[in-house]
Homo-oligomer: A and B are copies of this chain.
Amino acid sequence: MMQTKRPFEVLSRNIGKNVKVRLKGAQVFTGTFLGYDPHWNISLDGAEQCRNHRRVAFGKLILRGNNVLYVSELDKD
């Protein structure tokens, strides 16, 4: 039987890894996943946004959780 893996359990395994964060307004950010909290607030290091086919660098970025659509892994296990 398959074991349940709760969303935040899966999320927490990506700490220190490269992730992709997509916001409701379709903006996509990538960066090293520094941390999160139960409201889906997310901190990234070396954050970059792909905007009109250009990459914009942000350094450290703190995203408000309310706008997050999903987080996906970029470094496959």
A residues neighboring B (CB under 8 Å):
1-2, 4-11, 15-16, 23-25, 27, 32, 34-37, 40-43, 47, 58-73, 76
Contacts and interface: CB of A to CB of B under 8 A. Distances in A.
A40 to B, nearest CB: 6
Given A60-B10, A61-B72, A35 B67 contact: no
25 contacts: A1-B16, A2-B15, A4-B15, A4-B34, A5-B34, A6-B35, A6-B36, A6-B41, A6-B43, A7-B36, A7-B65, A8-B37, A8-B41, A9-B35, A10-B43, A23-B69, A24-B25, A40-B64, A47-B72, A58-B73, A62-B72, A63-B70, A64-B65, A64-B69, A64-B70
